[in-house]
Structure 1
């Protein structure tokens, strides 16, 4: 009969390998869910070797999201300066592709009353003429009204401009009168614009400026045919009030009704039409 101490030794020898085997299996099963300390230290060392420029780039990119995530964050003066520059650049682009649609011809009466004639520009009828008026606007060029008839008001824009103005082309919707007899002041007349109607603004004498006139007749000016280059049209009641004020000025008859005293004008930005 075996002794008790011998039996205990045998049982211990049999149990110990089993426990070791179970422990091995448990360690193997848990291994994917643990991160060795050596791996963490290696990652930190790798990050420490990343260049400052790479970190800065990442921070700048993250800053966009940060600004959106934290709208109350104070924007630095440097950032404000950058934003203002961008707005100025955008404004410049807008100005370049969106020229003014109208200009004003401003004058002051003897009483000190200021008037403005608002002219909507028509680049579809004469782009070069519109370019000239926009250039005159940018320089706030001066000029004068000097002729006043029942059917027109005539003046001149005095402006040293590099814009080369050419006569308008015949509009596609206009039929040219091939039997047109040219007037003596425009012996090479042709189709350069539409039949003028009340409020249209064009170059005088069948020319390409700088003398212009505003047609104020009630009926279409069929007697002028399509001789004149048109580049704008009056808009707003205030413009017609200004014409009415000019009509009250004294004139003298020199074959044409000329103002006794010419009225100085300035090309200005278009205001709100009345």
Structure 2
């Protein structure tokens, strides 16, 4: 064998060895990943990542899709079980992260793709990077902490979407109106309206629970350098933090509404403020502005109703502001400020329900469709747009008369995964101006016979409010002995496949008009849900000021139907429902 032949044999043997080694490496890699994980490698906003949620991506729709035909070979019971299981999964873009501050504790975060998907992807890349230079370097005690999120090899963002929302307690945004890597966590008790309404920068995450908020508060109290008044408080040495992904549990809990953070701290129902006359147009937990015509420091009344009457007697007053909560008002307790602002409802940037102590009102009636929700009252039966028929789905007169399809769950009830009951009808009025995105999506699905067409709409849970709900006599908090027991005074449900948005991550998916959650409000769920843009929803059985302004309220229940909702019984099996439009709306 000559030298050239020997060299060729050696080269061929080396090449075969490399192929065998490469095949072994690839086999080991793919053996460690499920077939679904192997298919879920996608590009999101320029970031390559592997989705771990086990959901199918179809076009731009990123929600779990159960099969809706008989090709699955599943019985009706099996198909219903599949739908219920899919509902419990987070969306493919949903993610969570942890900021580990060592001995001080950890800060758990929900990353919100509908607020800014590019930022969500960036934080995950930092969490997966081999090395990290992440740190906290600025503190404003009890108010905010600021730092930097960086990872080895992770490229910086240059432009981020800005959700049209006000920043609230526990939310995370990029500092200075930029696109990172400097970030801050807002620790104030209520909405940060002074940062803009909507917020002037990018908000991309929220703290997940009060334990994490306590960690952030401890960090904010660390010693800082001597600082002249009006300048930033900087740590003597930056605090290193480790960033890692916080995986979802393999079996997500069914309790989707167990909120673990107060979006507004220190609030209560302030029952005394509800005694105002109808023409006072009282706005609870609200401070309205205007030119002062009577100073409140020496103008004292025991109730908001008395303050309103004082405004009526004053020749120039059309706005009144009163502080009736002694525990929060302190030196301002009983103060009644009289103001003048004839064009107050011309402003679309008003925040209603964002104060922890003031109650305000106007002598002019707020428009019903004002973006702040100030003019909203529970609708009458003649004002409803659509009806939810809860119980065993049966053809209802106004739907059947127009050929509307109604879902059937025969075989899935009682003996299957659903519990059927005598049908109860709940009527809703959509908020066409306050939540146009949701209203248009649901209305289109209803007109096209897609809403609940596959028996995938359910009432999952009903938890009534206790007599002490929101009482100032109870400590502020979310446990069972506190003012706001987590998950209480709510009805939990889902609008099914057709109620889900199709473009979360492709664009900012936030309604532009933040409003409070009141008794009878219907809103998308955000705590632990797929996204805050549907299809999971809740109905409030009482006022929820502790939820702040971050939930999209897209409808209101007809006043006469609220008691029916409160009387619903849901045990371990969800109640199905169908949806029909009001007869006069049918074309």
The 5-angstrom pairing of residues 19-168 of structure 1 reads 85=31, 88-94=34-40, 95-96=50-51, 98-99=92-93, 101-108=95-102, 113=103, 115-139=105-129, 141-149=132-140, 150-159=142-151, 160-162=153-155, 164-168=157-161
Q: Quote the Cα distance in structure 2 between the aligned partners of 1:89 and 1:165.
A: 35
SS for the counterpart of 1:102 is strand
> 1:102–1:118: 8 Å Cα contact kept in structure 2?
yes
Residue 247 (structure 2) pairs with residue 257 (structure 1): no
Q: Quote the Cα distance in structure 1 between the aligned partners of 2:247 and 2:222.
A: 24
> 2:144–2:220: 8 Å Cα contact kept in structure 1?
no
- Look up the match of 2:188: 217
- Report deviation, 1:116: 1.1
**Deviation per residue, 1:96-141 (Å, 9 max, x gap):** 3635511001122xxxx25211110011111111111111111163
**Deviation per residue, 1:228-249 (Å, 9 max, x gap):** 1000000123212211321331
Q: Quote the Cα distance in structure 2 between the aligned partners of 1:239 and 1:139.
A: 23
> 2:104–2:218: 8 Å Cα contact kept in structure 1?
no
**Deviation per residue, 1:68-90 (Å, 9 max, x gap):** xxxxxxxxxxxxx99x8495332
Matched residue count: 167
- Look up the match of 1:44: none
- Look up the match of 2:382: none
Q: Quote the Cα distance in structure 1 between the aligned partners of 2:137 and 2:32.
A: 46
- Quickly say closer, same or farther: Cα 1:92–1:196, change in 2 above 3 A: same
Structure of larger gyration radius:
1
- Look up the match of 1:11: none
Of 199, 203, 209, which residue of structure 2 is paired with 1:230?
A: 203
**Deviation per residue, 1:170-222 (Å, 9 max, x gap):** 43xxxxxxxxxxxxxxxxxxxxxx21110010000000000000001112111
> 2:109–2:205: 8 Å Cα contact kept in structure 1?
yes
SS for the counterpart of 2:154 is coil
SS for the counterpart of 1:124 is helix
- Name structure 1 gaps, 5 residues minimum: 1-80, 172-193
- Quickly say closer, same or farther: Cα 1:123–1:165, change in 2 above 3 A: farther
- Look up the match of 1:208: 179
Which structure ranks higher in relative contact order (CA pairs < 8 Å, sequence separation ≥ 6)?
1
- Report deviation, 1:269: 2.0
Coordinate RMSD, CA, aligned: 2.8
> 2:157–2:180: 8 Å Cα contact kept in structure 1?
no
> When the two structures are superposed, what TM-score results if normalisation uses the length of structure 1?
0.54
> 2:129–2:154: 8 Å Cα contact kept in structure 1?
no
> 2:116–2:163: 8 Å Cα contact kept in structure 1?
no
- Quickly say closer, same or farther: Cα 1:162–1:251, change in 2 above 3 A: closer
SS for the counterpart of 1:262 is strand
- Quickly say closer, same or farther: Cα 1:100–1:134, change in 2 above 3 A: farther
Q: Quote the Cα distance in structure 2 between the aligned partners of 1:148 and 1:212.
A: 12
Q: Quote the Cα distance in structure 2 between the aligned partners of 1:166 and 1:103.
A: 21
Residue 213 (structure 2) pairs with residue 240 (structure 1): yes
**Deviation per residue, 1:43-69 (Å, 9 max, x gap):** xxxxxxxxxxxxxxxxxxxxxxxxxxx
- Quickly say closer, same or farther: Cα 1:99–1:139, change in 2 above 3 A: farther
Q: Quote the Cα distance in structure 2 between the aligned partners of 1:265 and 1:158.
A: 10
- Look up the match of 1:266: 242
- Quickly say closer, same or farther: Cα 1:200–1:88, change in 2 above 3 A: same
- Look up the match of 2:557: none
- Quickly say closer, same or farther: Cα 1:258–1:121, change in 2 above 3 A: same
